[in-house]
Chains A and B, each alone.
Chain A
């Protein structure tokens, strides 16, 4: 199976690899994994408390090229968006952008889950009421 050019590009030059201070109240951390393939993905955001804008996003993913590309793309997309805006990103957007084949769709799901988990963690830390939609989000 050949990876698309965009996947290869993100894989070779991943954007925003790194770590943010987990203990900071401005930082939300999402750690998700796929039991099927053993991929683990950590995505972190730093949110401006005044504007609710995600000013920094970092990730570290252990997994296949598609998982790395999906999380790399996710950090690019959420940077500069407000928290609510970032929640609008769907895994299908990632699939489209990276031309992921059907067997790799779960990588994009993982990336979407990571965004939600990071935002959920940030909301919890900052006492923002967790919307039921975040937990119940199916598709």
Chain B
């Protein structure tokens, strides 16, 4: 679904025939609606790919474009324009949902840049040990043992208060680790946004492994919460 286009190649507006940048929803010349453009989500908002986004601006743009695309405005338009208003709206919604979420935005940008995220790269990078948060393994194993014990004892109808408080402490610790990962991620955003190509490549590598770490810790927190809550 992701298509990296060369936005320097102009296309002709179907209505006024003036060439425009392919990634706009409306012709800059005659303001007529255009078919869903083939560019990335950033270009839907006339943005260059960037990680540290102004979310207020993004929301403002989203509302503005949503209003302009509203089906009511196309009640008397051609069938094509009606269809495009729906298709453009769907694209705009997807783009907004992806870009406003910091993690989804980061994953999206990394994919645009050719990185493989999550299960896609599972098992492929065996030579790159940085992909496995090795320091977490021992802890993750022990935590899983405690969780198993906790589930067992809950089944038997009694809960060991020591085990309970141990797990609560673990949850707090992992939540703090998540905060740390998020702030590390933000630091890499700055490197990427302001860096040259080699700096960007370096930042991308770090972000991929930070996202791995984040997913891993997130799963642990989720498991602890499930076990404590049920």
Residues of A within 8 A of B (CB): 31-38, 40, 42, 60, 62, 91, 103, 105-106, 109-110, 113, 136-138
Residue of A nearest to B147 (CB): A62
Interface residues of B in 124-177 (CB under 8 A from A): 126-127, 131-133, 136-138, 140-141, 144, 148
Q: How would you classify the secondary structure of chain A's contact residues: helix, strand, loop or mixed? A: mixed
Residues of A within 8 A of B220 (CB): 38
* Cβ contact within 8 Å between A36 and B119: yes
* Cβ contact within 8 Å between A35 and B119: no
* Cβ contact within 8 Å between A35 and B213: yes
| B195 on interface, CB distance cutoff 8 Å | no
Question: How many positions in chain B have a CB within 8 Å of any CB in the partner chain?
Answer: 23
Residue of B nearest to A136 (CB): B127
Chain B min CB distance to A62 (Å): 4
Bound-state CA distance A33–B144 (Å) is 12
Residues of A within 8 A of B126 (CB): 109, 113, 137-138
Q: A31-B138, A32-B137 are in contact. Are A37 and B119 (CB under 8 A)?
A: yes
Residues of B within 8 A of A91 (CB): 123
> Which 8 pairs between the two chains have the least Cβ-Cβ distance?
A106-B123, A106-B122, A38-B219, A109-B123, A35-B212, A62-B144, A36-B122, A33-B137
Residues of A within 8 A of B212 (CB): 35-36
Bound-state CA distance A42–B140 (Å) is 11
Not counting A32-B137, A34-B122, a sample of 10 additional A-B residue pairs whose C-beta atoms are within 8 angstroms of each other reads A32-B132, A35-B133, A36-B121, A38-B219, A40-B140, A40-B141, A40-B144, A60-B141, A105-B122, A138-B127
Bound-state CA distance A38–B119 (Å) is 11
Chain A min CB distance to B151 (Å): 12
Residues of B within 8 A of A109 (CB): 122-123, 126
Residues of B within 8 A of A (CB): 118-119, 121-123, 126-127, 131-133, 136-138, 140-141, 144, 148, 212-213, 215-216, 219-220
Chain A min CB distance to B32 (Å): 44
Return the contact of B118 from the options A31, A36, A60, A62 (Cβ within 8 A). Answer: A36
Bound-state CA distance A40–B138 (Å) is 9
* Cβ contact within 8 Å between A35 and B141: no
Bound-state CA distance A35–B220 (Å) is 11
* Cβ contact within 8 Å between B127 and A35: no
Residues of A within 8 A of B138 (CB): 31
Residues of B within 8 A of A60 (CB): 141
Chain A min CB distance to B101 (Å): 20
